[in-house]
Amino acid sequence: MEFNQRVTQIVFDSLLGVGIFLLVAAYPDFFISTVDTMCKQMHLEQLEAKIFWLLGYPAGFKPNKNFAHFLGNFVLIMINKWNEVTSALTQARQFIVIFIAVVGWLGASV
């Protein structure tokens, strides 16, 4: 019984992966625009605005000034590094969509 259940899971996973491949191959522009829309929520200016707000007096609370300055600068450096990574990935978005579609042939869990 357990062997049959595992085989069924593998077959379902593979069929789901092929379905993902076919959807991505049929509508690549839709998937690219969806990823772009989702990434706008994590855009650099929005993240920096939140950090600058936290460095001020958020809700009237001011933590240790030196610690807040250190922590804020550290987070801003990490945000700038994140911006570099996402900028590089934006240039390769079509490759990423094709890669996801091809990996879909291996199964959805991959």
pLDDT in tens, 7-65: 888 888 888 888 878 887 788 788 778 777 766 666 677 777 777 777 776 666 666 77
**57 DSSP 8-state letter:** -
**Does 110 have pLDDT greater than 60?**
no
Domain count, the chain: 1
Q: The domain containing residue 86 runs over which residues?
A: 2-106
pTM for this predicted structure: 0.47
Confidence of residue 85 (pLDDT cuts 50, 70, 90): confident
Query: How deeply is 23 buried, as exposed, middle or buried, from its count of CB atoms within 10 A (0-12, 13-18, 19+)?
Result: middle
* Start-to-end C-alpha separation, the chain: 25
